[in-house]
Amino acid sequence: MTPVRVRFAPSPTGGLHIGGLRTALYNYLLARQTGGTMILRIEDTDQSRFVPGAEAYIQEALSWAGIQIDEGPEQGGPFGPYRQSERKEIYHRHIQELLERGKAYYAFDSETELEDMRNKLKEEGSHSLQYDHSIRMKMRNSLTLPAEEVQKLIREGKYVIRMKVEPGQTIILEDIIRGSVEFDSGQMDDKVLMKSDGMPTYHLANVVDDHLMKITHVIRGEEWLPSAPLHVMLYEAFGWRETMPRFAHLPLLLKPDGNGKLSKRDADQLGFPIFPLNWTDPRTNELAKGYREEGYLPEALINFLVFLGWNPGTDQEIFSMEQLIKSFSMERIGKAGARFDIMKAKWFNQHYLRAKSTDELGTLLLDMLKKKQIECSQEKAISIAEAMKDRITFPSELYASATFYFSRPISYDQALVAKKWNELAHKILADYAQLLTKEVLLTKEKAQELLEATCQQHGTKPGAILQLLRISLTGAGAGPDLMLTMEILGGKESSERIQLALQNFSTN
């Protein structure tokens, strides 16, 4: 069996879109499942769109997500260089081969001539405005001009090289996801393979590199499906059809309502990231937030992304990377677009965050407190993490939802106080506060015992004053386990907070 070799081939034109990360993930899972090779190839032939820092961003995003690269610009490998801008000579050799075989030709048409052609076709009512078999013999190219003029224009260097697509052919592509897909060559244009700056287009570079790097599977987005017949024709033109990789075109990522393809603008309007990491565009200095900085764990994002198109055939939803590698199957990727449900991503994040040990969460909290210059012991941080872990979706909420542990309330839920406040409640809380002052090492069990005893002395049950007690301690009417909160605060602090609250309640 031929070893599986897959590639993720992004262009360094900006931040890595979340759909690109999904493509990288599917490639990675297939590579690891089969003991194959995962390649990163930087497709930077369009130098006009190159953005400084984008390649480093792509590398960092993949690493953060746990997608390990075997061969690439940084890792090296036997099939380098892995940046297309460094492979220019390779493409020139191969384009020359196509020219010699009559599969490609020089085109010298200026932008004005091309525009005139399109305008004329419009006037004639043509349904197609493309440069194809029906129009090429009316244009200025090496098929129509005398050999001497062709050589002169080549020396001047003002040309592109186009694929010579002949009509009357049915191109059949066996796609792993979509099955057999047929294309009519008569509907295809003579795509540019080499641009006027001497750099190849995506079509030529992609096919040449995939062949030379021995890629066995091309897994990419659905938007590349219209280009697939040209790529098949290029494999045939080079005589590589027998070793052509298998294709799989992934379904689109759709807006949460399923109405159209997900875009950065949609994500911005709906308030969720479209990039795995924060990305600052060096051209505009505009910051786009990333999943990492928004508090998503990499394992949660990966678990979420894998389900955007793939299903395991079971009810299982939680998968580690190792489990995904074992369970993944290209045949279980669907054709239909996948709706991007950010609430599901939050659900996954909540699950993985809650699955962390209290020691891990305590360390996360300590790191946040140090940045805010708040003193806290490791033991207290772990206790707070234990109290808060079932109430958080993002790590930042460990502190944001637990500030009351570090500072006394400066305001209270007065509407709830007014509803619950009475003379009996005042007496119970006052007596309870006095008992708490004697507890040097208050435990949640002792706090509960003293509360029940105090309420019993006044002929009532704890439920009658629990919300007032919580408001006294935290300022709010809801929160984590109340007795555990008191254990964390300690007897003296709890007593003083209750007494301060009683003064507030009595004067309002």
Whole-number average pLDDT of the chain: 94
Q: How far is CA 443 from the centre of its chain?
A: 44
Q: Is the confidence at residue 497, as pLDDT, over 70?
A: yes
**Cα angle vertex 205, ends 201, 206, to 5°?**
110
What does the alpha-carbon distance between residue 139 and residue 192 come to, in Å, rounded to a whole number? 14
Rounded alpha-carbon distances, angstroms, from residue 231 to 34, 102, 177: 26, 17, 18
Quick one: CATH architecture of 408-508? Orthogonal Bundle (1.10)
The residues near 311 (Cβ < 8 Å, ≥ 6 apart) are: 332, 334
Tokens of 249: 């075109």
Q: Number of helices and strands (H, E) in the chain?
A: 20, 13
pLDDT at 293: 95
Report, as an integer, the average pLDDT of 46-71: 94
DSSP 331: G
User: Could you give the count of Cα atoms lying within 13 Å of 404 in the half-sphere of its Cβ?
Assistant: 24
Q: Which CATH entry fits the domain spanning 264-352: 1.10.1160.10, 3.40.50.10610, 3.40.50.300, 3.30.930.10?
A: 1.10.1160.10
For 349-396, the three-class secondary structure string (H helix, E strand, C coil) is HHHHHHCCCHHHHHHHHHHHHHHCCCCCCHHHHHHHHHHHHHHCCCCC
Least Cα distance to 310 among 253, 225, 227 occurs for 253
The Cβ of residue 109 has, within 10 Å, a number of other Cβ atoms equal to 19
Closest CA to 258 of 172, 341, 201: 341
pLDDT at 445: 96
> Which residue in the list 264, 344, 446, 492 is annotated as catalytic?
264
Comparison of pLDDT for 61 and 464, the residue scoring more: 61
Q: What are the boundaries of each domain within the chain?
A: 5-73+203-253, 89-194, 264-352, 356-406, 408-508
More confident residue, 64 or 45: 64
Q: How long is the chain?
A: 508
**CATH tag for 5-73+203-253 (out of 3.50.50.60, 3.40.50.620, 3.20.20.70, 3.30.300.30):** 3.40.50.620
* 3 state SS for 140-184: CECCCCCHHHHHHHHHHCCCEEEECCCCCCEEEEEECCCEEEEEE
What share of the chain has pLDDT > 70, as a percent?
Answer: 99
**Which pLDDT score, from 0 to 100, does residue 276 have?**
97
Contact (CB, 8 A) for 258 and 26: no
- What average pLDDT does range 328-351 have in this prediction? 96
**What is the architecture of the domain spanning 89-194?**
Alpha-Beta Complex (3.90)
CA pair distance 414, 416, nearest whole angstrom: 5
CB 76 within 8 Å of CB 85: no
Q: Where are any strands of DSSP class E within 32-130?
A: 37-40, 104-107
Sign of CA dihedral 175, 179, 184, 188: negative
The per-residue pLDDT for range 417-438, each reduced to its tens digit, is 888 889 999 999 999 999 999 8
What phi and psi, each to the nearest 5 degrees, are found at residue 9? -130, 75
pLDDT band of 129, cuts 50, 70, 90: confident
Secondary structure of residue 333 in the 3-state scheme: strand
**Whether 369 contacts 381, CB under 8 Å:** yes
pLDDT tens, position by position, 370-392:
999 999 999 999 999 999 999 99
What integer is the mean pLDDT of 392-411?
92
Tell me, what amino acid is at 130? Q
Dihedral (C-alpha) 367, 370, 371, 372: value to the nearest 10 degrees? Answer: 130
What's the angle, vertex CA 135, arms to CA 154 and CA 46, rounded to 5? Answer: 50
Q: Distance of CA 353 to CAs 157, 305, 391, 394, 401, Å?
A: 59, 17, 10, 7, 15
Interaxial angle between packed helices 466-474 and 491-506, expressed in degrees from 0 to 180 and rounded to the nearest 10: 100
Q: Which pLDDT band holds residue 127 (cuts at 50, 70, 90)?
A: confident
User: Strand 246-250 to strand 287-288: parallel, antiparallel, or no bridges (unpaired)?
Assistant: unpaired
Q: Can 264 be counted among the known catalytic residues?
A: yes
89-194 and 264-352 share one fold: no
- When pLDDT is averaged across residues 434-460 and rounded to a whole number, the result is 94
How large is the average pLDDT for residues 304-310? 97
CB 143 within 8 Å of CB 137: yes
Tell me the CB-side half-sphere exposure of residue 15, using CA atoms within 13 A: 22
Q: Looking at residue 475, what is its pLDDT?
A: 92
Q: What pLDDT digit, counting tens, does each position of 192-242 carry? A: 999 999 999 999 999 999 999 999 999 999 999 999 999 999 999 999 999
| Amino acid of residue 305 | L
Buried b (16+ CB within 10 A) or exposed e, 432-442: bbebbeebeeb
- The predicted-structure confidence for 9-34, as pLDDT tens digits, reads as follows 999 999 999 999 999 999 999 999 99
For residue 126, the model assigns a pLDDT of: 83
pLDDT average, residue stretch 292-314: 97
